[in-house]
Amino acid sequence: MKNFALCLLAIALLSSCQAAPQKADEPIAIISQESNIEPDGSYNYAYETANGIKAEETGTLKKATSPDSSDVIIARGSVSYTSPEGNLITLNYSADDENGFQPQGDHLPTPPPIPPAIQKALDYLLSLPPAKRR
């Protein structure tokens, strides 16, 4: 029983050593960085790191069109990096008060095409006059 307890203690100590944080990699250098913020809230920034990450974004003030709405910032930007498989990943995006966040990139999943029979049924339903509700 004493040997069993010593084995459990040894295993626990070895496990805690493996779970300890490992030495961190060297920090990645920032090659370039720009940032500009205007008094009206519009802005732009860009940066590039030594490991190939690049990002840029521009925010533009959109004035309210009615008393019921408020001013908003419209953002447009992109970010690119190299995936672990060695592929260049580029994400372009825009964000505003009307359409929300709209990402675009070849790496993003897309829905499969609608089967022809389903599309035919949807087209038929759209051709019908609107139903009256009671």
The predicted-structure confidence for 50-65, as pLDDT tens digits, reads as follows 999 999 999 999 887 7
Residue 55 and residue 48: Cα distance in Å, rounded?
Answer: 7
Tokens encoding 59: 């925010």
State pLDDT tens for residues 66-91. 777 788 899 999 999 999 999 999 99
100 - beta bridge partners?
96
Average pLDDT, the chain: 83
